[in-house]
Chains A and B, each alone.
Chain A
Amino acid sequence: MLCVENLHYSYGTINALSGISFQVNEGEIVALIGANGAGKSTTLLNISGLLHPQSGLIKYQGVDISKLPPHKVVEAGISLVPEGRRVFSRMTVLENLVMGAYLKKSRVEIKESIERVFDRFTRLKERRNQLAGTLSGGEQQMLAIGRALMSKPKLLLMDEPSMGLAPMLVQEIFSIAKEINQSGTTILLVEQNAYMALSIAQHAYVLETGAIVLQGTAEEIANNPEVKKAYLGE
């Protein structure tokens, strides 16, 4: 579904990605794990069109999307839940969700999508008219996920959805990701919380300072002694 080939990206003189390649098959959850500063967010920003690679290909359903602007990438069916949630804090919960469906023309369809998000995140429903900036961190994360789902993406990119959340909520976010995947959305999950990410993913890649150093099934990665030592705290 998504095939990244030899992707290079640097911020000015700072080299962030030095030729990474990986793929995401339809229907899977693929985890991309790595320490802070490894280049995980840069990878997702390149896929979503906010950054454009200096070289390399990002093929989505066989077509190179590396030069498309973000709104075209969304149109193609890829949606990003950005790092740090990035909800529109001066808009209400409901308005945030409506923004997520910006490309949908049918009011009925938008309404149905909102209902679906509210079914999944009942707490958002209670707070529908509240400004997003007044929500708790966990609620904002749910809103960011709900908002990304409003465009009905085929591929959902999630950038550290568990960051800064209480352990209970972390559990909840991962089970939500799993549910979203089971209802037919492919997920590329970026995490520092390797343990949780590997527990729901099928395949995984380990990123270190801009290069992929390990890849395999989630189980293989989870059992790799190096990974255990570096990321799973064993």
Chain B
Amino acid sequence: MFWQQLINGITLGSTYALIALGYTMVYGIIQLINFAHGEIYMIGAFVGVVAVTVFQLNIFIALFVAMTVCIIIGVSVERIAYKPLRRSTRLAPLISAIGVSIFLQTLMTLIAGPQAVGFPQVINDQLYHIGSVTVSKVQVIILILASALMVGLQLIIKYLRIGKAMRAASEDYDTASLMGINVNRVISFTFALGSALAAAGGVMVGMYFNSIHPLMGVMAGTKAFCAAVLGGIGSIPGAMLGGLFLGVAEVGGVALGYGGYRDAIAFTLLILVLLFKPTGLLGRPIQRKV
């Protein structure tokens, strides 16, 4: 029972983690909470559905297509809605983000209709039994894919030139530009990475729950944002940990009979963690820049 719920929780949590990474990376560099990020995840799921149904693509190719489309949308959103506001007050891009979020929800409702859309069962429903634990093939695929994406992200950030530029810019934006780094390009790249991961999360959730909806990004996005804050906003390992933590807590809560409070669990946890550790689990103590 415990191990079963843990596996289920980690599966759900890894999709939260994928979305949370986008929030945390963007915040790390431009201190913006990208409220439209949940919608990128939603669009990823829809592109995935279209790819596997209309175009009859293999699910992995569909995943790749969804990630590519979302990269383009995510980067464009930054260019159109955030970049022109870069030098204004911090509230302006935040409100712009809320606007983009509502715009994308409405646009998708217009295109796909307000009802849920079925995500075809693309992975056979084979089950694996390990001791008392039962794991479905979809779960295995989600766990492997999510881990691979997160390891890939770590490698990019640690070793690639642009990844190092991201770290430098998230530590000190101005000084990074004094190194010859084109920070606009770094910001675009950050949005591209975050959007790709969110799209992957969207397709995975579609595969897992077989149903998607134009407003699915609202709750998932809010929870992933909680995960990012819980882990320490700006911290990449924090977003991963926060996502997993939240997924496990949510599934655990449901298993203990608090199914009705499913969505409240994330927010309760957030409040509790912030009460005791205001910077989040892996957040750095607040440093004031001089």
For A70, A89, A91, A151, the residue with the greatest tally of chain B CB atoms inside 10 Å of its CB is: A70
In angstroms, Cα B177 to Cα A74, docked, is 9
- Shortest A96–chain B CB gap in Å is 9
* B181 contacts A71, C-beta separation under 8 Å: yes
- Shortest B287–chain A CB gap in Å is 9
A78-115 interface code vs B (CB 8 A; 1 in, 0 out): 01101010101111000100111011000000000000
Given contacts A71-B180, A102-B180, A151-B180, are A86 and B161 in contact (CB under 8 A)?
A: no
* A102 contacts B179, C-beta separation under 8 Å: yes
Residue of B nearest to A83 (CB): B290
Given contacts A84-B290, A102-B161, are A70 and B168 in contact (CB under 8 A)?
A: no
- Residues on A with C-beta less than 8 A from B176 are 99
* B175 contacts A86, C-beta separation under 8 Å: yes
Residue of A nearest to B181 (CB): A102
- Residues on A with C-beta less than 8 A from B172 are 86, 88
Given contacts A88-B168, A91-B168, A102-B165, are A50 and B180 in contact (CB under 8 A)?
A: no
A75 close to B (CB within 8 Å) = yes
In angstroms, Cα B181 to Cα A103, docked, is 8
- Residues on B with C-beta less than 8 A from A75 are 180
Beta-carbon contacts under 8 Å, B136-188 to A: 161, 164-165, 167-168, 171-172, 174-183
* A80 contacts B168, C-beta separation under 8 Å: no
Residue of B nearest to A104 (CB): B180
* A71 contacts B171, C-beta separation under 8 Å: no
Tell me which of A70, A84, A90, A100 contacts B177 (CB under 8 A). Answer: A70
* A98 contacts B167, C-beta separation under 8 Å: no
* B178 contacts A74, C-beta separation under 8 Å: yes
Beta-carbon contacts under 8 Å, B209-231 to A: none
Beta-carbon contacts under 8 Å, B200-246 to A: none
In angstroms, Cα B177 to Cα A71, docked, is 6
Beta-carbon contacts under 8 Å, A136-152 to B: 147, 151
Tell me which of B167, B171, B174, B181 contacts A50 (CB under 8 A). Answer: B174
- Residues on A with C-beta less than 8 A from B175 are 82, 86, 88
Residue of A nearest to B185 (CB): A71
Beta-carbon contacts under 8 Å, A26-79 to B: 48-50, 69-71, 74-75, 79
- Residues on A with C-beta less than 8 A from B174 are 50, 70, 82, 86
Given contacts A50-B174, A82-B175, A102-B161, are A88 and B167 in contact (CB under 8 A)?
A: yes
- Shortest A231–chain B CB gap in Å is 24
* A50 contacts B168, C-beta separation under 8 Å: no
Beta-carbon contacts under 8 Å, A147-174 to B: 147, 151
* A95 contacts B164, C-beta separation under 8 Å: yes
* B180 contacts A74, C-beta separation under 8 Å: yes
Residue of A nearest to B167 (CB): A91
In angstroms, Cα B182 to Cα A80, docked, is 16
Beta-carbon contacts under 8 Å, B106-159 to A: none
* B171 contacts A89, C-beta separation under 8 Å: yes
In angstroms, Cα B180 to Cα A161, docked, is 21
In angstroms, Cα B167 to Cα A103, docked, is 16
Residue of A nearest to B290 (CB): A84
19 A-B interface contacts by CB (under 8 A): A48-B178, A49-B177, A50-B177, A50-B178, A69-B182, A71-B177, A71-B182, A74-B180, A79-B178, A80-B178, A82-B174, A82-B175, A86-B172, A86-B174, A88-B167, A88-B168, A90-B171, A95-B164, A99-B168
Besides A50-B178, A98-B164, 8 more A-B contacts (Cβ < 8 Å) are: A71-B179, A84-B290, A89-B171, A91-B168, A99-B176, A99-B179, A99-B181, A147-B179
